[in-house]
Amino acid sequence: MAEITMDQIKEIREKTGAPINDCRNALIEANGDMAKAVDVLRERGVASASKKSSRAAKEGLVYSYIHATGKVGAMVELNCETDFVARTEDFEQLAKDIAMQITAMIPQYVKREDVPQEVIEKEKEIFKAQMKDSGKPEKVVEKIVEGKVEKYFKDACLLEQEFIKDGSKTVEVLVKEKIAKLGENIVVKRFVRFAIGEN
């Protein structure tokens, strides 16, 4: 059993914002492995975040980000439960990260539930047409089409995109980590992206 030091606990706490006891327990469970301890806390944080997701989020802020070129930018409405949390540095940083994500990665929807059924059907038709002359059995084609639809969701839906600053997590995991840290439900309500010359 590795000995757990106060410096390790402090470092984990700074990385995750988790309470000291949770940091100590995660380090014990991970046998002193810092990366594993962070994963343990992240998993628990995501679990506790899902419990908070049913609570009303009616406060928050509208955040705008304009790229240095001045030719592209985004505006996002990010909601939380209290004005107190809305004014924290953590919450504002999350809003900025999400606005930058929208600017760089051009999502079309917040989550997959927002994608209209007719859009999904149109995408399926396109993918089926691409596979028409492949000579593959229909069941195989169906599986490939389903895989391509999943990939479409990961590209088109903000919460399912890989986070631009850390490809090991999605935007949804980023939001859930902040829910765990700040102790309130956080919801990406809506966004708009502007680019010069685009309709």
Q: What is the layout of strands, in order, in the sheet containing 187-195? A: 59-66, 72-80, 187-195
Burial of 8 (0-12, 13-18, 19+ CB in 10 A): middle
Asked if residue 166 is part of any domain, the answer here is: yes
Domain check: are 45 and 22 in the same one? Answer: yes
Q: What is the number of alpha carbons within 13 Å of residue 103 lying toward its C-beta?
A: 21
Close Cβ partners of 145 (under 8 Å, ≥ 6 residues apart): 124, 127, 128, 131
Q: What is the pLDDT along the chain (199 residues), one digit of tens a residue?
A: 678 888 888 888 777 667 777 888 888 888 988 888 888 887 776 545 555 666 677 899 999 999 999 999 999 999 999 999 999 999 999 999 999 999 999 999 999 999 999 999 999 888 888 877 777 888 888 888 889 999 999 999 999 999 999 999 999 999 999 998 998 999 999 999 999 988 7
Domain check: are 151 and 65 in the same one? Answer: no
Domain check: are 67 and 151 in the same one? Answer: no
In terms of Cα–Cα distance, which of 146, 149, 167, 168 is closest to 157?
A: 149
Range of the domain at 43: 6-52
Domain check: are 96 and 169 in the same one? Answer: yes
Asked if residue 131 is part of any domain, the answer here is: yes
Domain check: are 135 and 39 in the same one? Answer: no
pTM of the model: 0.70
Asked if residue 191 is part of any domain, the answer here is: yes
Q: How far apart are the first and last CA of the chain?
A: 60
* CATH number of the CATH domain containing 151: 1.10.286
Domain check: are 148 and 182 in the same one? Answer: no
Asked if residue 37 is part of any domain, the answer here is: yes
* CATH number of the CATH domain containing 189: 3.30.479.20
Asked if residue 1 is part of any domain, the answer here is: no
Domain check: are 146 and 72 in the same one? Answer: no
